Structure 1
Amino acid sequence: MMPCYRCGARQTDPVRGASPWQRGVRNESQVLICPDCQRLHDLDLDSCAGCGSTALICRLGEVECRACGTVRMAMARTDTSPADPVTPPPGLSAEVEAALNRVLGRA
């Protein structure tokens, strides 16, 4: 599962009902926001050019506004600045390996 883009918290299996995690788009990429980070006022999310809402989803190269329905093509990122690195959270590879071992029945 994808971690929170702000704090790196990992999503756990939800209790019955809707997930308290929120989706958003940042720098043309789909991100998840944990319940704690949702309380922050400046989430630095992309917004809709039509209505200004940050209720966006990104899928198959398109960004859709859930507030007004505007759909646009996602622009390819050319910014690879060190201020916004894309690195997995610490321990992620060990978690993935353990999950694969459980699923595949490896000892």
Structure 2
Amino acid sequence: MPCFSCGARQTDPVRGASPWKRGVRREIQVLICPDCQRTHDLDLDACGSCGSSALICRLGEVECRSCGAVRLAGRRPESPQRPDGLADEVAAALDRVLGRLTSHA
């Protein structure tokens, strides 16, 4: 996976931990190369609880590495009660397939 900002390809570190960092941008896990880490405006998502940008995205959840807060991916911190359109579409499709009555519009 390349750096989301500049497109540089990650190479194997010589020894020890990789200098590349992970982040979440628009609900997607991204990699950030060492050069772009020095850039101050990476437009990364921030934790709704503590404001940290040390987030990871996995299995449909976004977790803050600083405070441990977890939220479902697809729900923006500024509007946590509003599910995204895809979730509504999936719920409606499941209702159709399983023959359930729907209340989805």
The normalised TM-score by structure 1 is 0.69
Whole-angstrom distance in 2 between the partners of 1:65 and 1:56: 4
Residue 74 of structure 2 is matched in structure 1 by 75
Equivalent residue pairs, number: 77
User: Which has more radius of gyration?
Assistant: 2
Give 5+ residue unaligned stretches, structure 2: 76-83, 86-105
Q: Give the share of equivalent positions with the same residue, in percent.
A: 78
TM-score if structure 2 supplies the norm length? Answer: 0.71
Residue 38 (1) aligns with residue 48 (2): no
5+ residue gaps, structure 1: 79-107
The range that moved more, 69-78 or 53-62, is 69-78
Which runs of structure 2 are paired with 1:1-80 in the superposition (5 Å)?
2-75=1-74
In structure 1, what residue type is equivalent to 2:72? M
Root-mean-square deviation over aligned CA pairs: 1.3
Matched residue of 2:31: which SS?
Answer: strand
Please tell me the residue identity of whatever aligns with 1:72.
R
